[in-house]
């Protein structure tokens, strides 16, 4: 089409979140969710911890200290992670039951089976597997 600009391809690489208690969040994400700390450092007054589950990726998640305590609203709707199969989803469901998490909710969306919960600082996490079915969304 004349006059249109095509947007170049790109892929989601990593994301960062601000946290209150960097040590507690690092512990949860490494011990329970299986991330590995790949780097850490200080940028001004901010401490950073870089985490990955993929050896080919330096980091998939970076946590930064300094999240204000008195925020009236968490702007993160959800952080979603695809897992390999139903056995992995069951593993994580059992693992988080003894952790400082809240709002544990197994859900089927038709096109995915999900496990939602709030991490220790209230960020909504989704662990999910895809299914071969298409269902008009939202479906719960």
The CATH number of the domain holding residue 43 is 3.10.180.10
Paired sense of beta strands 79-82 and 124-130, if any: parallel
Claim to verify: residue 26 and residue 56 sit in the same structural domain: yes
Using alpha carbons only, give the angle 29, 30, 35 rounded to the nearest 5 degrees: 90
In a domain, 9, yes or no: no
| Structure confidence at residue 45 (pLDDT) | 95
- pTM of model > 0.85: yes
Claim to verify: residue 104 and residue 128 sit in the same structural domain: yes
Per the structure, the complete domain to which residue 54 belongs is given by 14-67
Per DSSP, what are the bridge partners of residue 40? 49
pLDDT by 10s per residue, the chain, length 140:
566 789 988 888 899 999 999 999 999 999 999 999 999 999 999 999 999 999 999 999 999 999 988 888 888 899 999 999 999 999 999 999 999 999 999 999 989 999 999 999 999 999 999 999 998 888 88
Residues 6 or more apart in contact with residue 2 via CB below 8 angstroms: none
| Structure confidence at residue 112 (pLDDT) | 95
Claim to verify: residue 94 and residue 59 sit in the same structural domain: no
In a domain, 6, yes or no: no
Find out whether 107 and 62 touch, Cβ atoms under 8 Å.
Answer: no
Claim to verify: residue 52 and residue 81 sit in the same structural domain: no
- The tally of domains found in the chain comes to 2
In a domain, 116, yes or no: yes
In a domain, 2, yes or no: no
Give 74-78's long-range contacts (Cβ < 8 A, gap of 24+): 74/122, 74/123, 74/124, 76/17, 76/123, 76/124, 77/124, 78/116, 78/124, 78/125, 78/126
Where helices occur in the chain by DSSP H, the ranges are: 22-31, 86-96
Claim to verify: residue 80 and residue 137 sit in the same structural domain: yes
In a domain, 8, yes or no: no
């Amino acid at each position: 089409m004349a006059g249109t600009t095509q947007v170049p391809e790109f892929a989601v690489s990593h994301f960062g979140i601000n946290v209150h208690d960097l040590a507690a969040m690092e512990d949860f994400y490494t011990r329970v969710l299986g991330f590995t700390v790949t780097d850490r450092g200080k940028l001004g007054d901010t401490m950073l911890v870089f985490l990955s589950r993929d050896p080919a990726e330096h980091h998939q998640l970076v946590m930064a200290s300094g999240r204000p305590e008195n925020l009236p609203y968490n702007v993160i709707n959800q952080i979603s992670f695809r897992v390999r199969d139903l056995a992995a989803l069951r593993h994580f469901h059992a693992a988080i039951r003894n952790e400082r998490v809240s709002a544990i909710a197994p859900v089927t969306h038709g096109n995915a089976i999900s496990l939602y919960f709030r991490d220790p600082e209230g960020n909504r996490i989704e662990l999910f597997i895809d299914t071969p079915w298409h269902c008009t969304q939202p479906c719960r």
